[in-house]
Amino acid sequence: MQIFKRAIYGLATMGYLAEHTEDGWIRSEIIADKYGVPKDCLRQGMEGLNKRNISRSKAGPGGGLRLGRSASDISLLEIIEACESPVAHLDDLTQITKDTPLTRNLEKVCRQASDKAVSILSKATLGQMVKTIPRVEGESGSQDCRRCCGPDLRHVVEAWPRLSKELRQAIVKMVT
């Protein structure tokens, strides 16, 4: 399974909106600059998200982007499929190639992998991805990683050895 740029841009955009719900309407330029997303790509990706009520947009002064509903009600699968196409494995190897025991076995494994990916992405919500990350003490003082690093969580990775076992387990659970 490959997630294409438009879906990655959509995930980053929706994550930013979820992190900044209290800020009201967010200008797309702010998000594009934050993540290095071409502004036209961001706007195009938002069309599918708006159609599915995952996000909302408002033109004009004071306008921008915001979540269409609660982050806890938006699955990562919804975002990816709104930006791209269905994630589910659609091609049947036995129709594309000769129907042999090998192609049937390969098809079975590909379908299982696709089903697993769809299952994981449909259960993971945007709210889970942006819920408050604990503050981490590091060289530069206390850091709220969501605010300073965005989705890459650089400070959590750097501080990983110093985190408690319980905190590491909570982070792993959150992202798996």
Q: Please tell me whether residues 17 and 54 are part of one structural domain.
A: yes
Report the C-alpha gap between 168 and 174 in whole angstroms. Answer: 10
Q: Please tell me whether residues 24 and 105 are part of one structural domain.
A: yes
Q: Please tell me whether residues 110 and 163 are part of one structural domain.
A: no
Report the C-alpha gap between 121 and 124 in whole angstroms. Answer: 5
Q: How many domains does the chain have?
A: 2
Q: Please tell me whether residues 136 and 125 are part of one structural domain.
A: no
Secondary-structure percent of the chain, ordered helix, strand, coil, rounded to 5: 60, 10, 30
Each residue of 27-70: pLDDT tens digit? 989 998 888 888 888 888 888 899 999 999 999 888 999 999 99
Each residue of 103-115: pLDDT tens digit? 888 888 888 888 8
Q: Please tell me whether residues 77 and 149 are part of one structural domain.
A: no
**Does the model's pTM come out above 0.85?**
no
Q: In which residue are the tokens 């076992």 written? A: 165
CATH of the domain at 75: 1.10.10.10
Please state which of the ranges 22-31, 35-44, 71-80, 81-90 shows the lowest mean pLDDT.
81-90
- Residue 157, pLDDT score: 53
Q: In which residue are the tokens 């196409």 written? A: 85
The domain of 153 spans: 132-175
